[in-house]
Structure 1
């Protein structure tokens, strides 16, 4: 996992990397839709998520931030793969995210089936710099997809800023995942808006740890697709979201919006390092 530490020259450093990245990738512009791998979700969205789009993901509670980031990374990886070339992911994190949930761990990404060498980590001080990273990253045709992680409420995440990011994603033909924790959903220009929580995974054979699992609730879709909630697992071998194994007995499905739910401290996407 390549890392650029936070500094006053953060955006300049990212710009300087663009030529090197471009040397390893083509320059075609993506678009269309990309599949998550989970058939029920992809069918509900008419073939998957918009590739040339901004998608907002909100952690259900502070302890769900790792789950939300893991969900975003899985989606971004599949979006990048859909371009047909080995383009890297740009992963931007603000200081609040690093303070609350820690810095990313390369071996943990490998455990998820993702190549740490194809993830460029950009650490910044605040939300304003994070948005700048998103726009600069999307401006490079060599980037496969972008994930931005922010912590806490901020006026910087305005409707105008959301429109700028959405336009940058549409112009570049690339996917941008904006992950926010410790914040309530706000109006924006994203194609989809999600609330993500950690979910329990089923153990594998011989009691081995199960696949990472999340509960992802679609709470808004600009195309008018109805809200719905899915429990899904991440298959590291296939690099795909899959349906969890059926549970024995009759259980009542959990509602899409459980305002009273609170995750336990440290609860998150398992096996993320």
Structure 2
């Protein structure tokens, strides 16, 4: 901006106007910096709508259908599927998963269940935190670690307010600086603030007709620089990709060999 002591104010006003324009462009998703690397999700129509795939080095929010503190397995499953794609696209690094404590309403993410969805548990690091503030801190620190491929963190329902917006902006800045992708999981639907997440997904379990493979009704409620949309997709853990229901092959599911994940910190 130059030295304000020697400026007549015109240059400062021009620079300030330029800065404001850049901020507005970033918020609209039209800034050149928005051209992030993409992680294809393996389904042409879905990837096309996302501009080539899920934006890397961004924060993505995943909400469930629960209206209470009951934990939502669909949120865990969809996050695991996204993590599988993320690890497949990454040149290296692991997933840092920040857990909520188990309580009378539900447990933590289950290692065998995540493995059944195709997630390589040798590349998942679980962190337990006693409260939301610690999980927020752990997620931000993880997002600053360029050695990770992604960070998943479980939170309660979203709330409107400046404190929540500031926290989310800090996460977004950390992700954009390092290139590490973050997933905010919220099983409880709760109040949806505008936020700064690159995308916001609502996940609902859909009737699968007796097939044990997960089938989800997905609603893309917010997409930076894009439009909302909805799909009904199932997750093919064998191939590690999403499919349309009509594409689903009639094959028997193969469950992973039972193993202990105590060393990685996963809990039932």
TM-score, shorter chain, exceeding 0.5: yes
Q: How many residues align?
A: 210
CA RMSD of aligned residues (A): 2.3
Residue 147 of structure 1 pairs with residue 149 of structure 2: no
Kindly indicate whether the alpha-carbon contact (under 8 Å) linking 2:158 and 2:193 is maintained by their aligned counterparts in 1.
no
SS of residue paired to 1:226: coil
Structure with greater contact order relative to length (CA < 8 Å, sep ≥ 6): 1
Q: Distance in 2 between matches of 1:73 and 1:45?
A: 19
Q: Which residue of 2 aligns with 1:38?
A: 43
TM-score by length of 1: 0.70
Moved over 6 A (4+): none
Kindly indicate whether the alpha-carbon contact (under 8 Å) linking 1:81 and 1:144 is maintained by their aligned counterparts in 2.
no
Kindly indicate whether the alpha-carbon contact (under 8 Å) linking 2:145 and 2:180 is maintained by their aligned counterparts in 1.
no
Kindly indicate whether the alpha-carbon contact (under 8 Å) linking 1:61 and 1:197 is maintained by their aligned counterparts in 2.
no
Relative distance call for 1:124 and 1:83 in structure 2 (3 A) is: same
Alignment of structure 1 residues 48-197 onto 2, 5 Å: 48-62=53-67, 65-85=72-92, 87-95=93-101, 99-152=104-157, 158-182=164-188, 183-197=190-204
Q: Deviations over 1:144-197 (max 9, x none)?
A: 111111124566961111110011111110110101122222221111111111
Kindly indicate whether the alpha-carbon contact (under 8 Å) linking 2:80 and 2:117 is maintained by their aligned counterparts in 1.
no
Q: Distance in 1 between matches of 2:230 and 2:222?
A: 11
Kindly indicate whether the alpha-carbon contact (under 8 Å) linking 1:128 and 1:156 is maintained by their aligned counterparts in 2.
no
TM-score by length of 2: 0.72
SS of residue paired to 2:246: coil
Q: Residue 210 of structure 1: CA displacement?
A: 3.4
Q: Deviations over 1:93-138 (max 9, x none)?
A: 223x655321222221221111222111111122111111111111
